[in-house]
Amino acid sequence: NIGSEIITENLKNGSFDYEQVKKDVYQILQHRVKPEFLNRVDEIIVFKPLEFEEIKAIVELELNKVVKKVKEFGYEIDFTENLKDYLGHEGFDPMYGARPLRRAIQRLIENPLSRNIIAGKFQKGQKITADISEGKVVFK
Protein backbone atom coordinates (compact mmCIF):
# COMPACT_ATOMS: atom_id res chain seq x y z
CA ASN A 1 0.00 0.00 0.00
CA ILE A 2 3.00 2.31 0.15
CA GLY A 3 2.66 3.12 -3.53
CA SER A 4 -1.10 3.57 -3.61
CA GLU A 5 -0.85 7.36 -3.73
CA ILE A 6 1.52 7.14 -6.71
CA ILE A 7 -0.88 4.84 -8.52
CA THR A 8 -3.76 7.20 -7.79
CA GLU A 9 -1.76 10.16 -9.14
CA ASN A 10 -0.90 8.23 -12.31
CA LEU A 11 -4.56 7.42 -12.84
CA LYS A 12 -5.59 11.05 -12.35
CA ASN A 13 -3.08 12.02 -15.04
CA GLY A 14 -4.64 9.45 -17.36
CA SER A 15 -1.65 7.14 -17.57
CA PHE A 16 -0.29 4.09 -15.83
CA ASP A 17 3.35 3.32 -16.55
CA TYR A 18 4.08 0.11 -14.63
CA GLU A 19 7.88 0.43 -14.66
CA GLN A 20 7.82 4.09 -13.65
CA VAL A 21 5.43 3.34 -10.79
CA LYS A 22 7.78 0.57 -9.58
CA LYS A 23 10.72 3.01 -9.61
CA ASP A 24 8.74 5.67 -7.76
CA VAL A 25 7.58 3.18 -5.14
CA TYR A 26 11.15 1.99 -4.62
CA GLN A 27 12.28 5.58 -4.01
CA ILE A 28 9.56 6.00 -1.39
CA LEU A 29 10.62 2.73 0.23
CA GLN A 30 14.20 3.98 0.45
CA HIS A 31 13.01 6.96 2.50
CA ARG A 32 10.50 5.13 4.71
CA VAL A 33 12.11 1.75 5.36
CA LYS A 34 15.41 0.86 7.00
CA PRO A 35 18.08 -0.41 4.58
CA GLU A 36 18.25 -3.74 6.43
CA PHE A 37 14.62 -4.40 5.60
CA LEU A 38 14.80 -3.01 2.07
CA ASN A 39 17.71 -5.36 1.37
CA ARG A 40 15.36 -8.28 2.08
CA VAL A 41 12.77 -7.14 -0.48
CA ASP A 42 13.05 -9.43 -3.49
CA GLU A 43 10.57 -7.72 -5.73
CA ILE A 44 8.08 -4.89 -5.79
CA ILE A 45 4.72 -5.88 -7.19
CA VAL A 46 2.44 -3.16 -8.48
CA PHE A 47 -1.18 -4.19 -8.80
CA LYS A 48 -3.05 -2.79 -11.74
CA PRO A 49 -6.06 -0.77 -10.65
CA LEU A 50 -9.42 -2.44 -11.13
CA GLU A 51 -11.46 -1.59 -14.21
CA PHE A 52 -15.14 -0.83 -13.70
CA GLU A 53 -16.19 -4.15 -15.29
CA GLU A 54 -14.07 -5.97 -12.71
CA ILE A 55 -15.65 -3.92 -9.94
CA LYS A 56 -19.10 -4.84 -11.25
CA ALA A 57 -18.14 -8.51 -11.14
CA ILE A 58 -17.17 -8.08 -7.47
CA VAL A 59 -20.48 -6.29 -6.84
CA GLU A 60 -22.27 -9.26 -8.39
CA LEU A 61 -20.41 -11.72 -6.14
CA GLU A 62 -21.19 -9.71 -3.01
CA LEU A 63 -24.85 -9.29 -3.95
CA ASN A 64 -25.13 -13.05 -4.50
CA LYS A 65 -24.20 -13.45 -0.83
CA VAL A 66 -27.08 -11.12 0.07
CA VAL A 67 -29.45 -13.14 -2.13
CA LYS A 68 -28.48 -16.33 -0.26
CA LYS A 69 -28.92 -14.70 3.16
CA VAL A 70 -32.31 -13.27 2.25
CA LYS A 71 -33.42 -16.62 0.84
CA GLU A 72 -32.61 -18.31 4.17
CA PHE A 73 -35.28 -16.09 5.74
CA GLY A 74 -37.87 -16.96 3.10
CA TYR A 75 -37.60 -13.93 0.81
CA GLU A 76 -36.33 -13.41 -2.71
CA ILE A 77 -34.46 -10.33 -3.84
CA ASP A 78 -33.03 -9.07 -7.08
CA PHE A 79 -31.07 -5.94 -7.89
CA THR A 80 -31.43 -3.62 -10.87
CA GLU A 81 -28.46 -2.87 -13.11
CA ASN A 82 -28.70 0.79 -12.08
CA LEU A 83 -28.26 -0.20 -8.44
CA LYS A 84 -25.32 -2.46 -9.29
CA ASP A 85 -23.64 0.42 -11.12
CA TYR A 86 -24.33 2.72 -8.19
CA LEU A 87 -22.83 0.22 -5.74
CA GLY A 88 -19.81 -0.14 -8.00
CA HIS A 89 -19.18 3.58 -7.73
CA GLU A 90 -20.09 3.89 -4.04
CA GLY A 91 -18.12 0.84 -2.99
CA PHE A 92 -14.95 1.59 -4.88
CA ASP A 93 -12.11 3.84 -3.82
CA PRO A 94 -9.04 4.40 -6.03
CA MET A 95 -6.82 4.16 -2.94
CA TYR A 96 -8.41 1.06 -1.39
CA GLY A 97 -9.90 -0.68 -4.42
CA ALA A 98 -13.10 -2.62 -3.77
CA ARG A 99 -12.53 -3.02 -0.02
CA PRO A 100 -15.21 -0.46 0.91
CA LEU A 101 -17.81 -2.37 -1.16
CA ARG A 102 -18.75 -4.77 1.63
CA ARG A 103 -19.49 -1.88 3.99
CA ALA A 104 -21.44 -0.03 1.29
CA ILE A 105 -23.64 -3.08 0.69
CA GLN A 106 -24.23 -3.46 4.40
CA ARG A 107 -25.07 0.23 4.83
CA LEU A 108 -27.14 0.69 1.66
CA ILE A 109 -28.79 -2.74 1.23
CA GLU A 110 -28.64 -5.08 4.23
CA ASN A 111 -29.42 -2.66 7.05
CA PRO A 112 -32.39 -0.90 5.41
CA LEU A 113 -33.73 -4.19 4.00
CA SER A 114 -33.60 -5.75 7.48
CA ARG A 115 -35.49 -2.79 8.92
CA ASN A 116 -38.15 -3.11 6.19
CA ILE A 117 -38.57 -6.83 6.84
CA ILE A 118 -38.80 -6.33 10.61
CA ALA A 119 -41.37 -3.57 10.04
CA GLY A 120 -43.50 -6.08 8.09
CA LYS A 121 -43.29 -4.31 4.72
CA PHE A 122 -42.62 -7.62 2.95
CA GLN A 123 -44.21 -11.05 3.29
CA LYS A 124 -42.32 -14.34 3.23
CA GLY A 125 -42.03 -15.66 -0.28
CA GLN A 126 -42.40 -12.18 -1.74
CA LYS A 127 -39.93 -11.14 -4.42
CA ILE A 128 -38.23 -7.87 -3.51
CA THR A 129 -36.56 -5.67 -6.09
CA ALA A 130 -33.86 -3.27 -4.94
CA ASP A 131 -33.29 -0.21 -7.10
CA ILE A 132 -31.74 3.23 -6.86
CA SER A 133 -33.89 6.34 -7.10
CA GLU A 134 -32.63 9.88 -6.60
CA GLY A 135 -29.53 8.60 -4.82
CA LYS A 136 -31.43 6.36 -2.42
CA VAL A 137 -31.90 2.60 -2.43
CA VAL A 138 -35.56 1.67 -2.67
CA PHE A 139 -37.18 -1.73 -2.16
CA LYS A 140 -40.31 -2.67 -4.09
pLDDT per position as a tens digit, 44-77: 777 777 778 888 999 999 999 999 999 999 999 9
pTM over 0.85: no
Domain with CATH 1.10.8.60 in the chain: 52-139
Alpha carbon of residue 71 to chain centroid: 23
Alpha carbon of residue 9 to chain centroid: 19
Report H helices in 13-137.
18-32, 35-38, 52-72, 81-90, 101-105, 111-118
pLDDT per position as a tens digit, 85-104: 999 988 887 666 677 899 99
Question: In whole numbers, what is the pLDDT of the chain averaged over residues?
Answer: 87
In sequence order, the β-bridge partners of residue 78 are: 129
48-54 long-range contacts, CB within 8 A, separation 24+:
48/16, 48/18, 49/7, 49/11, 49/16, 49/94, 49/97, 50/92, 50/97, 50/98, 52/88
CATH of 52-139, one of 1.10.8.60, 2.40.110.10, 1.10.3720.10, 1.20.140.10: 1.10.8.60
Q: Are 101 and 63 in contact (CB under 8 A)?
A: no
Give me the percent of the chain exceeding a pLDDT of 70.
Answer: 91
Q: Are 64 and 56 in contact (CB under 8 A)?
A: no
Q: What is the C-alpha to C-alpha distance for residues 18 and 2, in angstroms, rounded to an integer? A: 15
